[in-house]
Amino acid sequence: MPSVSLILAGLLCTLSCIGGVRADSLATALDAAWARHPQGAALAARGDEASARMALAASLTAGPPSLAFGHLGGGFGQDGGRREWEIELAAPLWLPGQQAARQREAASGATVLAATHAALRLQLAGAVREAGWAVVAARAALDLAQQREASARALEAGVQRRHAAGELARIDANQARSERLAAEAEVADAATALRGVEHVWRTLTGLPAPVTIDAERVADASGEDPPQLAAAIAALHAAQARVQVSRASRRDPPELALRAVRERDAVAEPWSSQWGVQVRLPFSAGAQTALNNATAQAELAEATAAVEQARLAHTLDVARARAELDAAVQRDEAAAQRQRLAAESLQLIEKSFALGESDLATLLRLRAAALDADAERAHRRVARTAAVSRLNQALGVLP
């Protein structure tokens, strides 16, 4: 009968060398997922809006100029009497400090857009990371199930031969067959689970499901604000800029008008022309100004609170992710020791069973323990690499 322990021992080598088959990059998958993300077009439109706001704030006037025409004269069909034509070109003017405030507001809006882009991309990176490691974990579980099925078939064949030779009872043959059927059912379950997570991956990235993924290293993000916190800080600066705009916009902008009048008093008299300048100064709307100031101050207070909340959430997320990584490392090391002990015990019982010194029930029990240890080790190895990705995600680092 082929050695079950040799089949199981090859599994760890298979898992450790599988990267040579095909290892996919999380960075490549993130680029593919971002290209499919529906928010990409929305952010592009927001970019056009931010550019338009900056152009508006840089204009010479506070708004578009206007042109007005006027005529004063006799009624229809009358060609005598007074005639007057008037044309007026008017443009709103910036209040003192208002244009600079508008420019700061437009610049802060562009910064908010860039920070939102980075935060959204990081959020998508978290989904890609989780989907990728779910595929790797499911594929490792399927590989383990297939290894169990192969070893169960080898065990059943050996038991059947010894049963036919009269060395083992019929009940031993039935137990071996039951073990093989259970292994086949486990393969079917693992294959179904793998198809499910592969579908999630393909929906997210549009790429084929990976065989494995390049493991990440713990990033050094010292001195850098994570995208979520950077987005909150950018929103705070934008709120501060809106407060300055509100303070600089106490009334509607004044309007400067250039007037040209051409007139005559009677048909026989010559036309005369006059030029003039007109300035309109709107009164301050106290209630509206107070409302605008109160709204801007409320937005500033909310943005300040959001920054503190984002900073606290970042600190907690990083601490939690570091603790989970430390625990994952410890669990992986313990699983490795358990796997070695289980493999050693299985090797000893296989020799004893081959010599007829142990029964099949003991072999099956130790074999199940070895398979469980292998499954635990494979699971812990994937969990350890996934914990590194989660720590990088908490630090705000893209793959």
Query: Does 349 map to a domain?
Result: yes
- Contacting residues for 76 by C-beta, under 8 A, at least 6 apart: none
| Structural domain contains residue 291 | no
The pLDDT value recorded for residue 327 is 96
Considering the chain, what percentage of its residues have pLDDT values greater than 90? 44
> According to the model, what pLDDT value does residue 328 have?
95
- Look at residue 188 in the predicted model and tell me its pLDDT: 95
Q: What is the mean pLDDT of residues 259-273?
A: 82
pLDDT at 80: 59
pLDDT at res. 340:
94
In this prediction, residues 56-63 reach a mean pLDDT of 85
Q: Is residue 275 part of a domain?
A: no
* Residue 107 clears pLDDT 50, i.e. is over it: yes
User: Which of 188, 185, 187, 168 lies closest to 176 in space, CA to CA?
Assistant: 168
Residue 214 has pLDDT above 90, yes or no: no
User: What integer pLDDT is reported at residue 24 of this predicted model?
Assistant: 61
Count of structural domains, the chain: 1
Pairwise CA distance, residues 243 & 101, whole Å: 9
| Amino acid at site 272 | S
Residue 24 contacts residue 132 (beta carbons within 8 Å)? yes
Q: Establish if 105 belongs to a structural domain.
A: no
Going by C-beta distance under 8 Å and a sequence separation of 6 or more, which residues neighbour residue 378? Answer: 11, 15, 140, 141, 143, 144
CA-based R_g, the chain, Å: 38
Q: Tell me the average pLDDT of the chain.
A: 85
CATH assignment of the domain containing 172: 1.20.1600.10
Higher pLDDT, 283 or 182: 182
Q: Is the pLDDT of residue 74 over 80?
A: no
The band of 304, judged by pLDDT with boundaries at 50, 70 and 90, is very high
pLDDT at 237: 94
* Angle at 332 (CA atoms; ends 328, 333), nearest 5 degrees: 120
> Which pLDDT score, from 0 to 100, does residue 220 have?
83
Q: How many CB atoms lie within 10 A of CB 333?
A: 12
- Structure tokens belonging to residue 352: 């004893």
Residue 8 confidence (pLDDT): 39
What pLDDT was estimated at residue 124?
94
Give the per-residue pLDDT at 232.
Answer: 94
Looking at the domain assignment, is residue 358 inside a domain?
yes
Measured CA to CA, the distance from residue 243 to residue 249 in angstroms comes to: 10
pLDDT (average), residues 101-107: 90
Mean pLDDT of 317-332: 95
23: pLDDT confidence band, cut at 50, 70 and 90?
Answer: very low
Residue 52 has pLDDT above 60, yes or no: yes
Residue 157 within any structural domain of the chain: yes
* pLDDT per residue as tens digits for the range 343-397: 999 899 888 888 888 888 888 888 888 888 988 898 899 999 999 999 999 999 9
Confidence label for 148 from pLDDT (cuts 50, 70 and 90): confident
Q: Annotate 207-240 with DSSP letters as a single string.
A: SPPPSEEPPPPPP--TT---HHHHHHHHHHHHHH
| pLDDT for res 78 | 56
For the stretch 331-344, pLDDT in tens is 999 999 999 999 99
Contact 360, 18 (CB under 8 A): no
Kindly state whether residue 76 falls inside one of the protein's structural domains.
Answer: no
DSSP class per residue in 281-321: -PPP-HHHHHHHHHHHHHHHHHHHHHHHHHHHHHHHHHHHH
pLDDT, tens digit (0-9, with 9 covering 90-100), for 30-50: 999 998 888 877 887 888 888
Q: Could you list the residue range(s) of the whole structural domain that residue 240 is in?
A: 4-60+118-250+307-395
Segment 249-276 shows an average pLDDT of 84
- Which is more confident, 131 or 52? 131
Look at strands 272-280 and 255-264 and give their pairing.
antiparallel
31, part of any domain? yes
Residue 97: left if φ>0, alpha if ψ -120 to 50, beta else—which one? left
pTM: 0.76
